[in-house]
Structure 1
Amino acid sequence: MFRRKNNPHNNHENDSLPSESKINELKVALGPLSERSLKYCDDACLRRYLEARNWNTEKAKKMLEESLKWRTDYKPEEIRWAEVAAEGETGKVYRAKFHDRNGRSVLILRPAMQNTESLENNIRHLVYLIENAILNLPEGQEQMSWLIDFTGWSLNTRVPIKSAKDTINILQNHYPERLAMAFLYNPPRIFEAFWKMVKYFLDTKTFQKVKFVYPKNKDSVELMRSFFDQDNLPTEFGGKANLKYDHDEFSKQMALDDLKSLSLWGIDQKAEKITQHVTKHPGAEVAPEPMAPPAS
């Protein structure tokens, strides 16, 4: 008995049984779902919500039902790049062309590049990009990594506390287990005061995924290098790649991704209509040929 218990392979097999049982239990507890909610609530989704609530079915059910209500009201899968493109002109948040070492999508955030004052539009822009990062995950991968560049950050360019709180709420409650790690690269000392206020909104699991990286701290740099290939990592994060945000190029890719999203969700809207809508915004034209997929 003890030999079998100490065998990692047997442990994995044995653990999968209660996992599947809990997923089926959550399915039954949720009851009938609408077509789009049913598409959202695949087994991988149910597993993420269960993991976020330590495999407590009742708590996971409550959390998931709140997310389904939020998705019904907010409709994140229906946000189109043309609606949020103005928020992205400075590249304050964008999906990188590369993946991390585990094939995860990477979002790059540059808070000093804030260019608008609407909290609602800022959050809508971020939600769009979270959905886009998920859309571009390779098969079998469910998480994303965040790289946060503090170059030029000051108290004058900081995200308002309410916006930070709302962002954390959406990420934790409606995208559970989607974040693998968030690397805060070289934040200035003055950021500590802002962090002391923000960290209280983070649950324990999310808090543990936030890592501060300082160029002179060998351990933190090595941790980030374990997640990213130095050849892919931008120089702003201590890597070798000289990557600059090109809004026109990024807009073309997002226009193509909007068509992919339409197909994924089975939204009854003609591609031609979306394309025409997107091209009304400067720099958001659909590229004549699809771009190459991001390098892993």
Structure 2
Amino acid sequence: MGADSEDAVKQLSLLMEQVEAPLKRSFQNVHQGYPKETLTRFLKAREWNVQKTYKMIVDSLNWRIQNEIDTVLERPIVPVDLYRSIRDSQLVGLSGFTREGLPVFAIGVGYSTYDKASVHYYVQSHIQINEYRDRVILPRLTQQFGRPVTQCIKVLDMTGLKLSALSQIKILTSISTVDDLNYPEKTETYYVVNVPYIFSACWKVVKPLLQERTKKKVKVLSGSGRDELLKIMDYSALPHFCRREGSGSSKHSSSDVDNCFSPDHAFHKELYGHIKEQASHRELIKMGSLHVSIPEPDPNDAKIVEAIEAEFQKMGDQDPPANSHKAE
């Protein structure tokens, strides 16, 4: 960091020392012993403007307190059949780690349907994965490597993406807004693989609307992306849908333990087991979904959603080419 950025961190640190005790306690759950790195992430998200960053952090900490985020890892989604249904329709998992020690999160964008539970359960599940990543996985890696590990990479599988995905825009926008405002700069790079025509068309429209910082993070790879991803991770860490060129499928059966989306995969078993264990320490477990308030999205994000909707509408009025190709 340059002198100006160091000064911004110092100014922000002084402001954070003045916040009330409940916010300080919540901030400890966020920074996990690395406040400087956390303040830097939020500063990047607000282009190093100290006052805007301070407001962002305080808003985020108030959101955590009001929505009981600090205890979300004590709220298992029950019954277990409901949890398994969510895993079958919200495809996300941890496939391994890069050689530098960053967690590799795989997301099955095309085949996620979000149609087996209320939106509240999907948001709760997403937040639980975020919190488990930030409060369990990353601190463990930080200890292992002897340096702060504060980010992950995400591999987005677009296999199966169809025009019907337009119906999921609202829930995806909700999840994206939660991440943008409360978990900024947690993803180092987004790798997009198995790209169909529909994504390529949308990407051309959306790319010019993205901030330069975000644009640099998105890498659209050819085919399954296997060869490119093998430059930064071992074969064993590749998401299953990248392991052989042309396989492309991110669907799974619930018993497929090699598929990182499966509830029987080691990551999901560990996560669910951790939440159940934490819940067992509480005298009263709240049942039902966690109703998290979703902040208003950034106006620029709203423009992006409008652009996607317009492009989907345009494609709905014509027959798109059947062949897939790499986005420009």
- The normalised TM-score by structure 1 is 0.70
The residue number in structure 2 matching 1:290 is none
Cα distance change on mapping 1:184 and 1:252 into 2, 3 Å: same
| 1:248 CA drift (Å) | 3.9
Residue of 55, 67, 90 corresponding to 1:62:
55
Opposite residue 74 of structure 1, the aligned amino acid is N
Runs of 4+ with deviation above 6 angstroms? none
**Aligned ranges for residues 43-62 of structure 1 at < 5 Å?**
43-62=36-55
Residue of 103, 106, 109 corresponding to 1:105:
103
Q: Which of 1 and 2 has higher RCO (CA within 8 Å, sep 6+)? A: 2
RMSD: 3.4
The residue number in structure 2 matching 1:254 is 271
Q: Secondary structure of the residue that 2:164 maps to in structure 1?
A: coil
Identity between Structure 1 and Structure 2 (%): 22
Residue of 170, 173, 176 corresponding to 2:181:
173
Q: Secondary structure of the residue that 2:235 maps to in structure 1?
A: coil
CA distance in 2, matches of 1:70, 1:196: 34
Opposite residue 67 of structure 1, the aligned amino acid is S
| 1:163 CA drift (Å) | 2.5
| 1:183 CA drift (Å) | 1.3
Opposite residue 46 of structure 2, the aligned amino acid is R
User: 2:43·2:50 contact (CA, 8 Å) conserved in 1?
Assistant: yes
Asked if 1:82 is matched to 2:94, the reply is: no
Asked if 1:32 is matched to 2:16, the reply is: no
Asked if 1:225 is matched to 2:230, the reply is: yes
1:228-254 alpha-carbon deviations (Å, 9 max, x no partner): 2223213411469x9224414555311
Cα distance change on mapping 1:235 and 1:160 into 2, 3 Å: closer
1:92-114 alpha-carbon deviations (Å, 9 max, x no partner): 33331511222112221113132
1:113-133 alpha-carbon deviations (Å, 9 max, x no partner): 324263333233222212222
User: 1:180·1:209 contact (CA, 8 Å) conserved in 2?
Assistant: yes
| 1:20 CA drift (Å) | 4.4
Opposite residue 32 of structure 1, the aligned amino acid is V
**Aligned ranges for residues 1-296 of structure 1 at < 5 Å?**
15=2, 19-30=5-16, 31-33=18-20, 34=22, 35-39=24-28, 40=30, 42-79=35-72, 80-82=75-77, 85-86=83-84, 88-90=86-88, 92-111=90-109, 112-116=111-115, 118-134=118-134, 135-137=136-138, 138-139=141-142, 140-157=148-165, 160-195=168-203, 202-215=210-223, 222-238=227-243, 243-244=258-259, 245-249=261-265, 250-258=267-275, 271=281
For structure 1, list consecutive stretches of 5 or more residues without a partner in the other structure.
Answer: 1-11, 263-268, 281-296
Cα distance change on mapping 1:146 and 1:209 into 2, 3 Å: same
Q: Secondary structure of the residue that 1:103 maps to in structure 2?
A: coil
Cα distance change on mapping 1:173 and 1:181 into 2, 3 Å: same
Between the two proteins, the alignment pairs up a number of residues equal to: 253
Opposite residue 116 of structure 1, the aligned amino acid is D
1:134-191 alpha-carbon deviations (Å, 9 max, x no partner): 2311111100111112222322245622223223222222111111111111121022
CA distance in 2, matches of 1:24, 1:32: 15
User: 1:81·1:251 contact (CA, 8 Å) conserved in 2?
Assistant: no
- The normalised TM-score by structure 2 is 0.64
CA distance in 1, matches of 2:201, 2:59: 32
CA distance in 2, matches of 1:25, 1:243: 47
CA distance in 2, matches of 1:159, 1:105: 30
CA distance in 1, matches of 2:84, 2:210: 29
| 1:87 CA drift (Å) | 5.2
User: 1:109·1:148 contact (CA, 8 Å) conserved in 2?
Assistant: yes
The residue number in structure 2 matching 1:289 is none
Q: Secondary structure of the residue that 1:82 maps to in structure 2?
A: coil
For structure 2, list consecutive stretches of 5 or more residues without a partner in the other structure.
Answer: 143-147, 246-256, 289-328
CA distance in 2, matches of 1:177, 1:158: 26
| 1:207 CA drift (Å) | 2.8
Cα distance change on mapping 1:221 and 1:253 into 2, 3 Å: closer
Cα distance change on mapping 1:88 and 1:228 into 2, 3 Å: farther
Cα distance change on mapping 1:70 and 1:86 into 2, 3 Å: farther
